Structure formats: structure tokens, C-alpha cells
Amino acid sequence: MFLRRACFFINRTCGVFANRTVSQSCIQLSEELKNAFTNKLPVVALESTIITHGMPYPQNVECALQVEEVVRKQGAVPATIAIVNGKIKVGLSEKDINKLGDTKSSQPIKTSRRDLAYVMSNKKNGGTTVSGTLIVANKVNIPIFATGGIGGVHRDAENTFDISADLIELGRSSVAVISSGVKSILDIPKTLEVLETQGVFVATFGSSNDFPAFYARDSGIKVPYSVQNADEAARIIRSNRDINTKSGMLFGVPIPEEFAFDSDVINKVIEEALHEAKLNNIQGKLITPFLLSHIAKITEGKSLQSNIALIKNNAKVAAAIAAALAKLEQSQGEDKGTSIIGENIQRRPIIIGGSNMDCSAVLDTDNIQLDGRLYPSKFAYSPGGVGRNMCEAMDKLGYSPNFLTMIGNDFHGVQIKSSIPNTSKHCTKISQTKNTAQCIIVFDNKGSCKMLMGDMSIHKEITPDVILENEVYLKEAPLIIMDGNLTLETMNEILRIAVESNIPVFFEPTDSAIAELPFKSTYSKAIKFITPNINELYVIANLLNIPYTKSSRLEDIANLTERVVNYVDNVIVTMGHQGILIGRKGLATDSFQQKVTNEKFGARHYPTKEITNLVNVSGAGDCFASGFICALVSDKSEEICISVGFAAAELALFSESAVPKSMFDPSHESWSVPTKYTTII
């Protein structure tokens, strides 16, 4: 009964912050860690309560530095995590460790999930517990974490309900924890039961599946699995990351034999310490440091020596696993070639961009004079916006993306939200202070767009913090699609995540006035695809200091495209009724994912067929891009990507709304019949 009640409570709690992330601006990476991430070196996360609450000063500082050195000797990079003056630091300097270790002056707070906001907002110092460290390690994508022993279900928990947050965090953080099992002061069977309920993989490191008990090499409790070595552990961790279970793993490493206590002896010591804690009414997060300190006193310091020995041993094992995992990921990456888009089609692209209510005014003349006269017109309102149009079109093509956008808490916002597919709208944000964006589009009687007017100020509400709140969706995407409605600061944050996570970005410039923005970012190398019209291409070329002569000749546009490809791998120039000119390295029969065998630049012109009696041109470009992207993430050739894009655009030209009511599925002939082209270069 106790476990059912406990697990019900934990499961209710787990979902509350499932999609929240820590703001990147709160985290400081050391230069050593930045270099490690850039060069894909093995990294091991280390907690800091060992410094602030686990041992007396100065042994705590000495131990922390020695543990870091153990990690380095195994060829990995240590990432000790703590809060210093309100800032989360990943990778502490020796000065930081000394500062935290002198607890009389640093006054550190034992920091779990519940304490993070308080410690940070009050600019205090904090030693992160297993759960606190897991949150940060998961945030910065460190897959291996070494600690002494995890927290768990305390003895007498059926009365006190004292269950460590470590167990909850293990159930929702994709990090493998290497520890000497569960602290002996806890109820180990109940702890393992809760871990099972949380979906946490548990194994003993070694030949036996008898789970270790911190000071003792075995607890008498069997777990389902054991792993023989670092390579086997790395393969299991890799599989867990591939399947993206979003739950952690626990590997129990027995304490080295020469430092181990006999189970009966240490259990008697623990019982005495527990009795003392009860007499002194020690509860909550004070109980563990009290018990460890009292056990050290009873054993005349031998337990402290054991504690230090097991932590060093765990760090050594963790570093070996991290090195094996890095080697495994590197070899698997080489086997996959240089694909720029993830191989798993179930990973959903994410669109980040604008939503607005379009008001189209179709005049009864093509002779427009801006002299104040009234023109008889037909008005129509429909949800629009580049990002929103692409989201709807991709969904109707069978490739529903995630969609991050901002709408107002008003009538137009309700209409737009209802137009966003249910599978995409969980990233939709609602502003309480800004109106939904609106755009007035004026067409003449031939269907040509003559004027655009818009109130787009709400798009500035998509801030870097909003991006960080949804970072998990970016990191899991095979492709990030970004339109030009965002601020430079927001684009910079998106591109930073893309660079660090090796995710390609597809940029739709939207308008010549803002086409250059993302190329001002220091992370612009993440942009792998752009779809400018000719004027937008000129604007981008200006910023990149590429000389050109304005010309409508395909050869001149192709020559300019060739120079832009030095900055963006794939340039897809939209030219209205003239069709598409695409410039890239490779052949028309190559997909965009496969390794390019022909490094020679190629520029190809794909003409459109002549279309008469069109209804609306406002959504044709967005639908083309959507069709192109759907074929792109399906690993289709350039020819097929253009073919699917053209088919989607053609439907839009005969639709009164920007996106047709229905599109087509992958059985449509455009998915198998390539569009003919003319080679320009």
C-alpha cells in the first residue's frame, strides 16, 4: 500500500515541469567544458554536495580536486556542477571549489530541484544534490554523471513519506548515474521499487547482479541486470539515448574491496546513527549529512575514507564509460556519413515564426493610383503568416511539425489557434499585452500583390527566453525552420542551439527588409537552406560583401548564387512565374542528406508550367517551401523536392486561402516524378 501511494504521488508530481527547461542565461560553462563540447570529448558530470555537505573542510576540497583528477587521467573532462553567487556553473575552477568548500564563509545551501530558484534569485551559493546535478547535466547534454550514492526512500518512510527527489529526477532525466548503489542509511528495497516505477534502468557494474549498498559491496538485493565493463555500459546508454526514453539509468559500482565494510557491522552503526537522529529530531534534507557525519564519528573516520575511495572509484568507472560512449558515437557518426539531417523521420521538424490574420483586398482594377480614392474591392479574412502557413501546409502533406509562435489573447488569436493543427499547437504562446499580428494584402484584378500593410509587433514577444523554454523541441528536431519575423537576438539563440546540437536550419527570408538579419549572427553557419527571392538574395549578398550586378539573366543569378553557397550550402531562389533556381554542391539526383560525392557547384533552373485563371498568390511561396521541406526530411532527391514543392504551390494558386483546404499524400505523382531542369552552371 505504501509503495502504491508513494508512486502515485511521484507520478502526479513528475508531469508538472515536464516541458520546462533552465534558462541558458543562468548557466556558465567553463572554457574547458566549451572546448570539450566543441571537440566532442567525453565528459563526466560531478555533484557538489560532496564539497558543501558531504565532508568536513579541507578534506572536501581535497577530495573534489582528486576526483576531478581521476576523471582526467581516464581521458575525460570533469564537469563539477554548483551554484556560485546565484549562477549555475558547469565546470568549477579550483578557486570556486575552495570557496564552496570553506562552508563557514560560503554558507552554501543544499540544492535540489525545489531550491534552485531560491538559491539563484538570492545570489547564494549552492551545492547541487544528485537531483539538482541531474537537471543541469541533462540541460547541457552531459550523458554520464558520477556520484557516491543516490538518495532514495528513507527508513520509516511509510510514516514520514521521506522520499528523495533523486528518484523522481532519475525518472525524467536522460542521464546515466554511476554510483555505489543506494546509501546504506536508506530503505534499499523500497528505493529500487520506486526506481522501477519511474522506469529507471538499474544494473550492477560487475559480474554479480547483487546491488551494492554504499559502504558494503552488496545489499542482498538482486537487480535484473549486470554489466561486465565500460563498453557494455556505453552500448546500453547509447541505445537509451537513441530511443529517447527521457528516463535515466543507474549503474551500481561496488566499493573497492579494501575499503568495504561488513554488511552486519555497518548496519549496526547505521541503526545507532538513526537512533541518534531520532533523539535529536533531525529531519528533511538535514538527515543525510547528519547520519554520514555521525557514522564517521562512530567508525573513527573509517567511513569517511571509504566514502572518498568509492567516489574516486565511481569517477574512474564513469570516465571509462564516457570515453567508450564518445568512441561509440564517433564511430557510429562516421558510419552514417555526413548527413546533415537526422535519420529518424519520427523526429519532428520545428517551425519558429509568425502567425497573423490576413485581410486580402482584391480590387476590380489593375490601375491603382495612391491619391486617396476609394476602390471597390472584395475582402476576405483568413489565418496567415509565413510560419503558420508552412505549419498548416506541412500538416496537410502528412508531416506535422512542432510550431512555436505568438498570438494575442483576442478574437483573431482564437481564430488562428483553431487553424493550427492539434499536433503542432503545444508550442503556441499567447501574449496578454499584444494584439495578434494582422496583415492587409492588396491585390489587383489580375491577382498581383500591389501593397502589404501589417502590424507585426507581437513577433518581438518570441524572445530568447521563449526559445529556451522550448529548447527540447529544437534539440530533438531533424530540421529547424525559421522565418524572418523574429528579432536578431531570438534568431541568434535559435542558431546557437542549432550549432551546438548540429541541427540544420532552413531560413525563409519573408521580406527583403529583414532578409539579412540571421547573417548578422555569430552562429549563422547553422543556416543550411535559404529560399530568397531575387531582391532578398541581393540583400543577403550585400551583407556578406559579395559583389553583384542586378540582372534578370539566369546566368548572372546563378553566378551570384555560387558565391552565396560559400556561406549557405543550399540556395533556393524563388522567381515567381520563372520558377526556381537552385545552387548547391552536388547533383540534381542527390538528396540533401546523403554524403556529396561530387563537390562541384551546380546551378539548375526549374521552370514552372504556365498557369492561367489563378485565384491567389499569397500562399504559393509558403506552400512550395512546405512541400520542399517534406520531401527534404524524407531524404528525397533535389528533383523530387522541387517537384513536391511545385505541386503544393500549384494547389495554393487556385485556393482562396493561403493554404488549400486539402493537399496530397506521398502517393501523389510529384513524389516519384522528378521536375525537368536546365543546367546553368
Q: What is the mean pLDDT of residues 546-564?
A: 94
For residues 504 and 524, what is the distance between their CA atoms, to the nearest angstrom?
A: 11
Spatial CA neighbour of 43 closest among 326, 398, 281: 326
Determine the 3-state secondary structure of 239 from DSSP.
Answer: helix
In the predicted structure, residue 413 carries a pLDDT above the cut 80: yes
Q: Quick one: pLDDT band at residue 376, thresholds 50, 70, 90?
A: confident
For residues 647 and 668, what is the distance between their CA atoms, to the nearest angstrom?
A: 9
In the predicted structure, residue 46 carries a pLDDT above the cut 80: yes
Spatial CA neighbour of 301 closest among 269, 326, 274, 333: 269
Hunting for cell 535540489 — which residue is that? Answer: 112
Active-site residue, 183 included: yes
For residues 602 and 595, what is the distance between their CA atoms, to the nearest angstrom?
A: 16
Amino acid in the structure at residue 500 = E
Strand partners, 537: none
Is residue 318 within 8 Å of residue 146, measured between CB atoms? yes
Three-class DSSP labels, 141-183: CCCEEECCCECCEECCHHHHCCECHHHHHHCCCCCEEEECEEC
Amino acid in the structure at residue 634 = S
Determine the 3-state secondary structure of 545 from DSSP.
Answer: coil
pLDDT of amino acid 128:
95
Q: What is the mean pLDDT of residues 79-103?
A: 94
Q: Quick one: pLDDT band at residue 604, thresholds 50, 70, 90?
A: very high
Active-site residue, 329 included: no
Core vs surface per residue 379-405: b (16+ CB within 10 A) or e: eeebbbbbbbbbbbbbbbbebbbbbbb
Is residue 579 within 8 Å of residue 554, measured between CB atoms? no
In the predicted structure, residue 59 carries a pLDDT above the cut 70: yes
Residue-wise DSSP of 585-631: ES-TTSBSSSPPS--SEEEEEEPPPP--S----TTHHHHHHHHHHHH
Is residue 479 within 8 Å of residue 506, measured between CB atoms? yes
For residues 117 and 140, what is the distance between their CA atoms, to the nearest angstrom?
A: 18
For 171-227, write each residue's pLDDT tens digit: 988 899 999 987 667 888 898 999 999 999 999 999 888 899 888 888 888 998 999
In the predicted structure, residue 82 carries a pLDDT above the cut 90: yes
Strand partners, 127: 82, 110
Q: Quick one: pLDDT band at residue 577, thresholds 50, 70, 90?
A: confident
Q: What is the mean pLDDT of residues 294-315?
A: 82
Residue 525: how many CB atoms within 10 A of its CB? 14
Residue 223: how many CB atoms within 10 A of its CB? 21
Catalytic residue from among 99, 139, 183, 396: 183
In the predicted structure, residue 12 carries a pLDDT above the cut 70: no
Helix axes 2-14, 188-197, angle to 10 degrees: 50
Cell of 538: 541581393
The strand order across the sheet containing 350-352 reads: 402-404, 350-352, 480-483, 505-508, 527-530, 570-574, 580-585, 601-606, 678-679
pLDDT of amino acid 343:
36
Is residue 427 within 8 Å of residue 402, measured between CB atoms? yes
For 228-284, write each residue's pLDDT tens digit: 999 999 999 999 888 888 889 999 999 999 988 877 777 777 777 667 777 777 766
Q: What is the mean pLDDT of residues 495-523?
A: 94
In the predicted structure, residue 155 carries a pLDDT above the cut 90: no
pLDDT of amino acid 294:
65
Taking the CA atoms of the chain, what radius of gyration do you get in angstroms?
30
Q: Quick one: pLDDT band at residue 448, thresholds 50, 70, 90?
A: confident
- In whole angstroms, how far apart are CA 633 and each of 344, 348, 394, 638, 676? 9, 9, 11, 12, 21
For residues 593 and 279, what is the distance between their CA atoms, to the nearest angstrom?
A: 66
Q: Which residues contact 7 (CB under 8 A, 6 or more apart)?
A: 194, 197
pLDDT of amino acid 289:
66
In the predicted structure, residue 292 carries a pLDDT above the cut 70: no
pLDDT of amino acid 288:
63
Query: Which range is least confidently modeled, 123-132, 503-512, 653-662?
Result: 653-662
Enter the pTM of the model: 0.52
pLDDT of amino acid 369:
82
For 122-146, write each residue's pLDDT tens digit: 999 999 999 999 999 998 999 999 9
In the predicted structure, residue 329 carries a pLDDT above the cut 60: yes
